[in-house]
Structure 1
Amino acid sequence: MKSLFLKRQAEPTQFVHTAQWPCFGLVVQGAKRLQLGTETYDYAAGDYVLVSLDLPMSSCIVEASEAEPHLGMGLAIDPQHLKDVLGRFGQGGGHGQAHGPAHPQLPERGVVVAKASADLLDATLRLLRLLDRPQDIPVMAPLLEQEVLYRLLVGPYGARLRQIALAESPSNKVAKAISWLRSNYASPLRIEDLADRVGMSESSLHHNFKTVTAMTPMQYQKQLRLHEARRLMLVERLDVGSAGYAVGYQSPSQFSREYARLYGQPPIRDVGSARGPVLGGEARVAG
């Protein structure tokens, strides 16, 4: 199951900076912490995190031991699968909160932590049990993934997923802006051009973007650039100057200054202490 990710960790970890996919993540044992901009989200056993669009985030495991390791799972959310499930609501499916609004609602933060319902836990457990019956995966996995999405959509925070799928909603336009930024992070950013591209005024884009991501478009672009620069230095073994230039920085001193502000130390020192596993720039699934 390509969209399913499992995590086991026997000790707490330092913060890992990642480009987070839209996903559903559940903690089975232990505890984890996420940071989005200046905001912190803690979740433990029985809690889930729902990320509704691509976000540069930091995460760490805060509760784990050899006796009681951190156990978690994550499910990447495929936008087309989400639209397929939403499409059935107008065909007699769904109930109550599941029905989308007649008019776009105000946007909400793109990440939320909540207690998993019994129905959501049941659907997730049945999905995980397919790992013991691989012959059932081709037929049953798509159906159970759809059930998990359905449980998320009809849950208390389903609107955060529905708003991304509504073509004219502010959240959907923010998602389009994010998609453009992810593909063009190394290019100079003019807010007025980005606003025109997604069909919003500059003030509306700035307000709605920060509401959804906890960052301004400029701050979002900066984090994308710095995450990618770190990946280039760690994985591609680029030197500091080349990595900064590759992600759009013209000034080495500005690059080093902003890098140290995000990662806590200058690039050379940070990369020297982090050689080994890929810690930055790689998209991951929370769990």
Structure 2
Amino acid sequence: MKTSLDPYPEMASIIARFASADGELETAIDGFFIGRRSAPSPALNTTQWPCFALVVQGAKSLTLGTEVFEYGVGDCLVVSLDLPVVSFITQASIEVPHLGVAMAIDGERLKHLIGRIGMPASAGAADAMRGVAVNGATPELLDATLRMLRLLDRPHDIPAMAPLIEEEILYRLLTSPYGPRLLRIAQAESPGNRISKAIAWLRQNFTSALRVEDLARHVGMSVSSLHHHFSAVTAMTPMQYQKKLRLYEARRLMLVERLDVGTAGYRVGYQSPSQFSREYSRLFGRSPLRDVENLRDSLVVNLPHRDTDSIAPHPYPGVGAERP
């Protein structure tokens, strides 16, 4: 979607100046990222943290479970909680590179804003919804994002102005079609909030054996309710979520820390090397050894990275750790 006063050329110009080479860049504004890619990318398996992301030029694709989200210029993607996803750039070239911007969603700031503006609980009372959504960006959201980008040329204004614009962006998201899912995650004791707590526990304890009964007890839900709401939000079961966290981390350990297959599998919680190899091959399409060799040969490092238009346990699904 585009406004009558097209903001995209100015956005693209700012991003291209600050991201002069391919990659994702954490700007001088805390939790605010820009990215550039000059060619379509291979699929990236990563854990995406809560974020807002906007495509300024080009297009991307993100897969959650079996659902595929395609988004291009003017589309806004919101991830409301940490989710294992697969993402890749679908449209990019040297002449017209993919350009994007992303902002981490700070849960505490979101809760504070919701409390201050007094949004009714009924606004988020619908059935649980996916933790990922794509919609066209509103003119108001585009305007706030452009003003945030302009701050990169006025670094002395950042300490005073960036927090105000960040809050405005959060407000625009809350009052958009994304609002109900963000409310559902932020409101205490709501099913969405309990699923958020379950995900936080899984991320901290993914190497340990999982008993769904214990997880349900930890977040104050029945097993059936946990399964229902967890699947509604993440498009997978708690066991499937844990398995992806384990395999993504094992891949990183072999690729970056150069652990051998057996040690990497054991480090993430597998007691059986054969089970580890079998589940790894099922997810990535190759045995652990062949997959890592292929990645090294092609110089594709598949780490959790902050993805400008997708998601981050970094706001980019992938750069570094997992917080945009």
Relative to the length of structure 1, the TM-score reads 0.94
- The alignment partner of 1:33 has SS state of strand
Q: Which residue of the partner structure matches residue 169 of structure 1?
A: 190
Contact residue 124 and residue 184 of structure 2 kept, 8 A: no
- Which of 243, 248, 254 aligns to 2:275? It is 254
Closer, same or farther in 2 for the Cα pair 1:277/1:138, shift >3 Å?
Answer: farther
- Which of 173, 176, 179 aligns to 1:158? It is 179
Q: Distance in 2 between matches of 1:144 and 1:284?
A: 19
Q: Distance in 2 between matches of 1:251 and 1:219?
A: 18
Contact residue 104 and residue 170 of structure 1 kept, 8 A: no
Say what the alpha-carbon RMSD is for the aligned residues.
1.4
Shift of 1:103: 7.8
- The alignment partner of 2:257 has SS state of coil
Shift of 1:281: 4.1
Deviations 1:10-40 (A, max 9, x none): 1000011111000000000100000111111
Q: Distance in 1 between matches of 2:197 and 2:209?
A: 17
Q: Which residue of the partner structure matches residue 266 of structure 1?
A: 287
- Which of 286, 302, 305 aligns to 1:279? It is 302
Q: Which residue of the partner structure matches residue 243 of structure 2?
A: 222
Question: Which deviates the most, 63-72 or 266-275?
Answer: 266-275
Q: Which residue of the partner structure matches residue 87 of structure 1?
A: 115
Q: Distance in 2 between matches of 1:103 and 1:163?
A: 5
Contact residue 105 and residue 169 of structure 1 kept, 8 A: no
Shift of 1:286: 3.8
Q: Which residue of the partner structure matches residue 157 of structure 2?
A: 136
Amino acid at match of 2:130: R
Question: Which deviates the most, 267-276 or 147-156?
Answer: 267-276
Figure out how many residues of one structure are paired with residues of the other and give that number: 280
Shift of 1:102: 7.6
Shift of 1:100: 3.3
Q: Distance in 1 between matches of 2:82 and 2:161?
A: 27
Contact residue 124 and residue 183 of structure 2 kept, 8 A: no
Contact residue 23 and residue 75 of structure 1 kept, 8 A: yes
Contact residue 246 and residue 269 of structure 2 kept, 8 A: yes
Amino acid at match of 2:303: G
Q: Distance in 1 between matches of 2:46 and 2:123?
A: 35
Deviations 1:97-117 (A, max 9, x none): x54328844211000011000
Q: Distance in 2 between matches of 1:12 and 1:216?
A: 31
Relative to the length of structure 2, the TM-score reads 0.84
- Listed as ranges, the matches of 1:1-287 within 5 Å are 1-90=29-118, 98-101=119-122, 104-275=125-296, 276=299, 278-282=301-305, 283-286=313-316
Shift of 1:273: 1.6
| Structure 2 unpaired stretches of 5+ | 1-28, 306-312, 318-324
Amino acid at match of 2:163: P
Amino acid at match of 1:217: P
Amino acid at match of 1:200: M
Deviations 1:250-279 (A, max 9, x none): 111111111111111111111112124641
- The alignment partner of 1:68 has SS state of coil
Closer, same or farther in 2 for the Cα pair 1:45/1:9, shift >3 Å?
Answer: same
Q: Distance in 1 between matches of 2:87 and 2:185?
A: 23
Amino acid at match of 1:157: Y
| Identical-pair percentage | 60
